[in-house]
Structure 1
Amino acid sequence: MTPPLDAERCYRAVAGRDARFDGWFFTAVHTTGIYCRPSCPARTPLARNVTFFTTAAAAEGGGFRACRRCRPDAVPGSPEWDVRADVVARAMRLIADGEVERSGVPGLSARLGYSERQLHRLLVGELGVGPLALARAQRARTARVLIETTDLPMADVAFAAGFASIRQFNDTVREVFAGTPRSCAARDGPATAGRPGG
């Protein structure tokens, strides 16, 4: 016989969105009629509004339906189950596409259906850095490609790569590539002609 669930411990896992408990229990929310995994990104329900079940089937038997965000009814090991990796992959695609430059971290988070804090924690947990650092590295890589493959003046490279200012461009390239934008140029020529101050 399955031992009864410790409601207090379960609730702590839900409040911390602890993915280690996914599959061990399910949280049914009386006010919404939905059941979720402990790691669900939805707002944490009040303790008085939840019941914990040991299986998805038991939650469904209790009249609850599966959450569409965290897919608690998915099979462990399936792509639907690993929502965390999926969100990180989608975040990386949006960052590469310039979402942070267009709408900032709030816009990126909104597109993914997460709060800024949740998204930051997710990216740091999976990749070691947050969305701003990822966007910065992406801008630096784009700038380097433009420097090495085009004859654009450095000011044009900076803005084409998504930098807000020439100074930000210079500082980032110096930090990421340990050299000035000019030193990244594959050749001397028109690409260095418009190089901003220093």
Structure 2
Amino acid sequence: MHAPASPTVHGLDFDTMNAARLARDPAYDGMFFIAVKTTGIYCRPVCRVRPPLTRNISFFPSAAAAERAGYRPCLKCRPESAPFCPAWNGTRTTVERALKLIDSGALDGEGTVEQLAMRCGVGARHLTRLFRQHIGASPIEVAQTRRVQRAMQMIAHTALPMTEIAHAAGFASLRRFNEVIAARYGRSPTELRKVRPHNVT
């Protein structure tokens, strides 16, 4: 069962987001994600697959929020490739700083939310509350999604062995890497490399 999405995302109402996804408007890429209730998959506004019926969709402010609600990433539009450009960027400096620290690996390995919050000058509970408000997911959930996103970029665009990808993406072990990718995409990392378009340099 999927958790409900918010009626508005970064100040955008349902009708505005729906018009943007039907037009595949690149100006909205990364500002919200479309979840399809009938397939359990979430996409970017620019996804080239046949648009689902409006009654079957909902919108989320981030990939992490969609995944928290139980949706899987689309293998066609590659949500991990979407730009990260929430409409409030620059007005919520605490969350922005925390996101940059997460991107640099602050919650990989032994990193904790308490340590991350301390680096941002706030308490862990307050930071988590800010993330729920603006991202729709907790810092831990965002970090997990970012690890998956980094891994999927390397799976699609490099010939690196999976062990190296797991380490470079920030997973604690190859086993954990395999488990998380399989849970997100319904396929192993090796299977995904076979079915996804490559640009191996």
Q: TM-score, normalised by structure 2?
A: 0.49
Of the two, which has the highest radius of gyration?
1
Higher relative contact order (CA 8 A, sep 6+): 2
Larger proportion of helix: 1
